A = this chain, B = another copy of it.
Amino acid sequence: MSRYMLVLSYKGTAFHGFQKQPDARTVQGALEEALATLAGERVETCGAGRTDAGVHAAGQVAAFDAGAGIDTGRWMKGLNALTPPDISVLEVREVRPSFDPRRDAVMREYRYFLLNRPAPSPALADICLHLPGKLDLELARQACSSLVGTHDFRAFTLAAETRGTVREISACDIGEAGAADHLLCIVVRAPSFIYRMVRVLAGAVLDVASGKTELSTLSAALAGGTGPCADPLPPEGLFLWKVEYPQERLSA
């Protein structure tokens, strides 16, 4: 047996999240079905992280074990032919037998896309949040900056987690995304996140940008608030953009 890594892109709209569940259409479920067809036997996968229902991925990473020396190019083609059109396999490569896509990841990047104009965009409806209200981009940038660094993010999760909620945000910024006018993107990078953290964090940034809350409220939440400091944004704007690994954790 050898170990293989997959880089996946998917549109989360019609999936009940990444993680396999009985009787629900999931990315992992669809992926393992395609892998089983290629391998001729059941194949278990594990992912770099779960994405919630409706959340997309541009570069999710998963790993599985299969017979040594499979033709990765052929498997990539085969997987793209066998998975539904809302999943795309960007890469298949052999990695070292101990590779763990969750534990070995040293950086995760999420991007939250939003369209800030009065009317929605039908072409982008599934893949960004429509936010008609006025936003102060400079305040949003300040809010993003204030999140960078090591903080106790207990006020940025929905679960009643109060232990192990310290995380280090390496980068956080908001700017024009390109491709269309008024399309904005919040980019946030951290070695790891807690449950729903990105959507609460993005909600908090937009609350500041829309004047709903003050920057000082955000600072207070970072100093260790109780309960989520903002409503989590809906899933449609969120992409797990990429997951990064040190070269030595990958090498077969």
Contact = CB atoms under 8 A, between A and B. Distances in A.
A133 interface: no
A243 interface: no
A185 interface: yes
Interface in A33-82: 56, 58, 76, 80
Contacts of A121: 9, 58, 88
Q: Classify the secondary structure of A's interface with B.
A: mixed
Contacts of A125: 11, 85-86
A93 to B, nearest CB: 13
Contacts of A10: 122-123
Contacts of A127: 123-124
Interface residues of A, number: 33
A164 interface: no
Interface centre among A118, A121, A123 (most CB of B within 10 A): A123
A121 B89 CA distance: 9
Nearest to A128: B179
A126 interface: yes
B9 A122 contact: yes
Interface in A179-235: 179-180, 183, 185
A44 to B, nearest CB: 23
A105 interface: no
Interface in A107-138: 113, 117-127
A88 B80 CA distance: 33
A177 interface: yes
Interface centre among A10, A80, A88, A183 (most CB of B within 10 A): A88
A139 interface: no
A39 B21 CA distance: 49
A11 B179 contact: no
Interface in A1-54: 9-11
A178 interface: yes
Contacts of A120: 80, 85, 88
8 contacts: A9-B121, A9-B122, A58-B123, A80-B120, A86-B125, A176-B178, A178-B178, A179-B180
